[in-house]
Structure 1
Amino acid sequence: MIKDLIFGLIGGLGLFIFGIKLMGLGLQKLAGSQIRKVLGKLTTNRFTGLLTGAGITAIIQSSSATTVMMVGFVNAGLMTLTQSIGVMFGAAIGTTITAQIIAFKLTAYALPLTGIGAALHLFAKKKKHKHLGEAIFGFGLLFLGLNIMTSTVQPLGSSAIIKEVFVNFSRNPFLGIVAGMIVTAILQSSSVTVGLIIALASVGLLGINGAIPLVLGANIGTCITAMLASMGTTTSARRTAVAHVLFKVFGTVLVLILLPLYYNIITGTSTDIARQVANAHTLFNVVNAIIFLPLIGILVKSVTKIVPGEDITVERGPKFLEKNLINTPSIALDAVSKELVRMTGLAKNMVKEAFAGFKNNDRTSLAKAEAKEDAIDELQDSITKYLVSLTQTELSNEDSEKIPSFLHSVNDVERIGDHAVNIIELAERKIDNRSPFSKTAQKEMARMYKEVNLMLVDLSRALPKKNKKLAKNILMREEKINEMTEEFRGNNLERLRCRRCKHLSSVVFIDMLMNLEKIGDHASNIAQAILGRLSWNNNKPYNMEKVKLE
């Protein structure tokens, strides 16, 4: 008896959880390419944010996953705190769809759905049909697991001791809330907890008075995942997680105050206890969202006081690369783009400070430039590893084409930093050996740097929105730099032949020309990537081994 109970619960729960996960994955793959477009509409107003959150969670089948995603978006700078709160309200509503589906009691169709889904996934030729099959297969497993759990716990309905345990939840709602929190914290999904509650209620172990406190606890328990995800993130990301907790706790307190009225409302919605449990879950989140939606501003002020401080931009290490975004490749690539822009800005400033130190024999400027070297190297390493992680996910053709281009560009920016280091070393040599340039050489070097700097400025402006006009300007400047390099190299040889400059100064001058020209070459490579000329060759994937991964 006990062995059958344990095995049945473990197996049924496993199938139930796996079914929810598979269904969510299948639906997410079907709609994955649209997620970025949907998120782009979040800035309109809080109501559309709520609808978006509900829609995304209906696809992912987990409000915890959506909230963790929001924490990631805020931490990556892809979403504001206010936007994320609106989405979070919607996520709370969206997650109740699972409970409503479970309440339909489609267990008789579990096996046919599983078979149809498996056949579609295994034998369909089109990817969208395979993804649909995966979702249907998960849907079938969900009900198969629920059926096993219900059948397993049914004999317990005759046990007076077990019934007394569950009756205590109606006598002491706080006990039920704590139990719901603990179970949800362990299972990492309020949908799974509510599914268990429905199974227990369906066999008579739980009345609605005992089920509602458990549902309230499940709603609070789902906050724990987001709180854990927010640890070590930005201030705004932590505020998003705290807002989630306040939202759920406030709703729970409100229901506890009006508990007798809430019982009456829920029992009036249906005569079926499974549907009553699902409705209790849905009504809690819908009413809570309606109350909070006009009060988002107050909620933002509250969490700002609870989590004080301002976000500090740290130069070292990635700022936008969030592990939480990996399973949403289109959004993750946006984060990579933002990180590349930041890395390019660092490289541009590094070159600027290195040249200022060279020109003015200023070791302070050189030290500032040198401090950026490790930051750029760290970013190259982080972005490259992040992109490699993305290649292990299922990508659309559009997203797949971006990765080689990003790898090229990241490598080119790192090489710009390397050439800035060379300039620092040349400046140190120039200062130590007291090898000044002639006035003509100084003017030529200033002209050369001016063009290179304009390239880097244009590059920083072109990258965020992939501005092709600026990218073409960079390519034209590169031609001009090549011409200047040849001209100034000849002029330097003439000065050396006529003994108008020292040999050491001449060598430093040529090395400077070479490094500035190489910086221009790498900026030009990135401009080519912006123009879309580096990702694919004759419709064949780029050979990843050619990318420099140091």
Structure 2
Amino acid sequence: MKYTSIIIPFVGGLGMFIYGMQIMAQGLENAAGNRMKSLLEALTKNKFFGVLLGAFITAVIQSSSATTVMVVGFVNAGIMNLQQAMGVIMGANIGTTVTGWLVSSVEWAKFLSPSNLAPVAIMIGVIIMLTGKRRSTKDIASIVVGFGLLFVGISSMSSAVEPLKDNAAFCNIFVSLGHNPLLGIVAGAAVTAIIQSSSASVGILQSLAAAGLVPFGAAIYIIMGQNIGTCVTAILSSVGAKKNAKTAALMHLIFNIIGTIIFSIIAIAYLSIVNPAWAHGNITQTQISMVHTVFNIVTTVLLFPVSDWIIKLAKKIGHVEEEVQDESVVLLDDRMLETPGIAIQSTVSELVRMGHVVADSLEVARKVMFERKEEQIAFLKEEESKVDRLSAGITSYAIKLSTLQINEREHEEVAHMLQIVSDMERISDYCENISEFAESLLEKQVDFSEVGVEHLNKMLDVCIASYLYALEAFESNDRESALKTIEKETEADGLEISLRAKHIKRLTNQQCNTEAGVVFLDSLVCLERISDHARNIAEEVLAE
């Protein structure tokens, strides 16, 4: 037997299968973009919701490894705690079974036969891709083409290994794996760890099953091993991460090992005592999907009530203690770039967080202008430094996002964020300028006149309102708030001209202190420019 005639078509089919899976996943991710982005905002401490979230994301991106790597990134960035991560990890195991059901559909839905459907699907997808102009149309084309390539790949693998069913030595390997559970688990884990995809690993097993090569007993242990092997990607990803992030990867491994132990005991008892004959019968692709799904769902149901113990065990093994989060650290991680849609939403969330820091600074700036307490001045300087660090981190991450293969709308969204982060940072700078003006008045022991205080308060009201409307417009994508921002900015422009003229008249009539008068004028300029930057933010929202 010429093994090259088997290996080359098999490897080529595997490559086509993985490529088709990636194309389909990218199309699904783009098509589900808005839902994917809203998921991050909806995250709560409810682990049950986390399970649903993990299952959905994994079903869309077709990789539990990618989902877990993303979770490691969230935990490392401080966006997600370990309780939330546990739920998503459990759900990821369930979501990864979708690919297996797609592959096995050739058995329970005959019209999906690769020989009939795959070439047609690829042709239709290519025509849509070449003729379609809308982004949503191209996303659908990617899903259809990926779907077709996935089936062509699995068909190529099945055809390539079919001659092996007459090879006694090869068949004996699977018989041995069925007789030795540990060997079967190790084999499944090793293959999955090497190709770093449990979906692809299950696909390989299904292609072998389609050729009638895999006994039921061997398949069960290989499938359980595949669930352990898929943890390798996340563990490698956690190298160099914080202890909490390493704990998240460790939780995934512990969860799958416990599930494997439970099911191995059940499988050994059933196949050795209750129904030994079943172990020797060949498994079908659909049965592989069923075993894979039952294993992951039942493991989740059994371990969900004790998931907190798994977290404690992982923390104990990883020597993890609760960390105090530094608010000036950007809660973004490069691992999240694996799923650009969610990475973009994470960046939006960080920009909103930075926006609220700036809003707090504005409120303190109002107090500083009139009260001039040293602790308030120190607070504003500290907040400005925090905003600078957040601005630098968000900008750097947004630039990384812009280099990814994202669609045109997402590129525009990143460009809007880069402009908004700059405007927010400038507003923070003006708050610091106000604190410096307050220091100057404090040193010189001078104060504004009663009229000056009244006029500055009026200007502060309008300018702070313009920024708060702008922040609300960005946070909620609210066009009405954006339009209110522009109204307030226009009002601030007129008010600045009016108050400047009145103040110069008071200076001419010597109705106020000259040194305080200079600070008054400088303050008007700062506040008017704050409203200008608020308008810039609103216009970016309206441009989306």
How far off its partner does 1:254 sit?
0.4
Moved more, 38-47 or 2-11: 38-47
Cα distance per residue 1:9-50 (max 9 Å; x no partner) = 432321221122223223334444444567788779766765
Secondary structure of 1:316's counterpart equals coil
Contact 1:321 1:339 in 2 (8 A): no
Matches of 1:413 and 1:16, distance apart in 2? 46
The residue aligned with 1:290 is 301
CA RMSD of aligned residues (A): 4.3
Q: Which amino acid aligns with 2:421?
A: V
The residue aligned with 1:14 is 15
The residue aligned with 2:95 is 94
Moved more, 479-488 or 254-263: 479-488
How far off its partner does 1:484 sit?
4.9
The residue aligned with 1:214 is 222
Matches of 1:266 and 1:31, distance apart in 2? 45
Matches of 2:189 and 2:438, distance apart in 1? 63
Cα distance per residue 1:89-116 (max 9 Å; x no partner) = 3432332232234343644344454444
Moved more, 388-397 or 251-260: 388-397
Contact 1:16 1:144 in 2 (8 A): yes
Moved more, 420-429 or 254-263: 420-429
Contact 1:402 1:535 in 2 (8 A): no
How far off its partner does 1:456 sit?
4.9
The residue aligned with 2:446 is 436
Q: Which amino acid aligns with 1:145?
A: G
Does residue 338 of structure 1 match 2:346? Answer: no
How far off its partner does 1:189 sit?
0.9
The residue aligned with 2:150 is 142
Q: Which amino acid aligns with 1:419?
A: Y
Question: TM-score under structure 1 normalisation?
Answer: 0.78
Sequence identity, in percent?
35
Contact 1:404 1:535 in 2 (8 A): no
How far off its partner does 1:511 sit?
1.6
Secondary structure of 1:437's counterpart equals coil
How far off its partner does 1:219 sit?
0.4
User: Quick one: structure 1 residues 19 and 269, their matched pair in 2 at CA, closer, same or farther if it must change by over 3 Å?
Assistant: farther
Does residue 512 of structure 1 match 2:523? Answer: yes
Contact 2:58 2:64 in 1 (8 A): yes
Does residue 223 of structure 1 match 2:231? Answer: yes
Question: TM-score under structure 2 normalisation?
Answer: 0.79
Matches of 1:473 and 1:122, distance apart in 2? 43
Matches of 1:40 and 1:429, distance apart in 2? 43
Matches of 1:61 and 1:203, distance apart in 2? 25
Contact 1:75 1:322 in 2 (8 A): no
The residue aligned with 2:185 is 177
Does residue 535 of structure 1 match 2:543? Answer: yes
Matches of 2:477 and 2:131, distance apart in 1? 40
Moved more, 401-410 or 505-514: 401-410
Secondary structure of 2:326's counterpart equals coil
Matches of 1:417 and 1:259, distance apart in 2? 63
The residue aligned with 1:546 is none
How far off its partner does 1:514 sit?
1.1
Cα distance per residue 1:182-218 (max 9 Å; x no partner) = 3212212111112222334555654333333222111
How far off its partner does 1:220 sit?
1.0
The residue aligned with 1:63 is 64
Contact 2:216 2:282 in 1 (8 A): no
2:384 counterpart (363, 373, 377): 373
Alignment of 1:72-151 (within 5 A): 85-103=86-104, 104=106, 106-109=113-116, 110-124=118-132, 128-151=136-159
User: Quick one: structure 1 residues 358 and 40, their matched pair in 2 at CA, closer, same or farther if it must change by over 3 Å?
Assistant: closer
Q: In the comparison of the two structures, how many residue pairs are matched? A: 530
Moved more, 234-243 or 214-223: 234-243
Q: Which amino acid aligns with 2:457?
A: R
Contact 1:357 1:366 in 2 (8 A): yes
Q: Which amino acid aligns with 1:142?
A: L
Secondary structure of 1:369's counterpart equals helix
Contact 1:266 1:280 in 2 (8 A): no
Matches of 2:259 and 2:203, distance apart in 1? 21
How far off its partner does 1:521 sit?
2.8
Secondary structure of 1:258's counterpart equals helix
Structure (1 or 2) with the greater helix fraction = 2
Cα distance per residue 1:303-345 (max 9 Å; x no partner) = 566674445332334225765267453x445433322222122
Contact 2:27 2:142 in 1 (8 A): yes
How far off its partner does 1:464 sit?
3.7
Where does the alignment leave 5 or more consecutive residues of structure 1 unmatched? Answer: 537-550
How far off its partner does 1:380 sit?
3.2
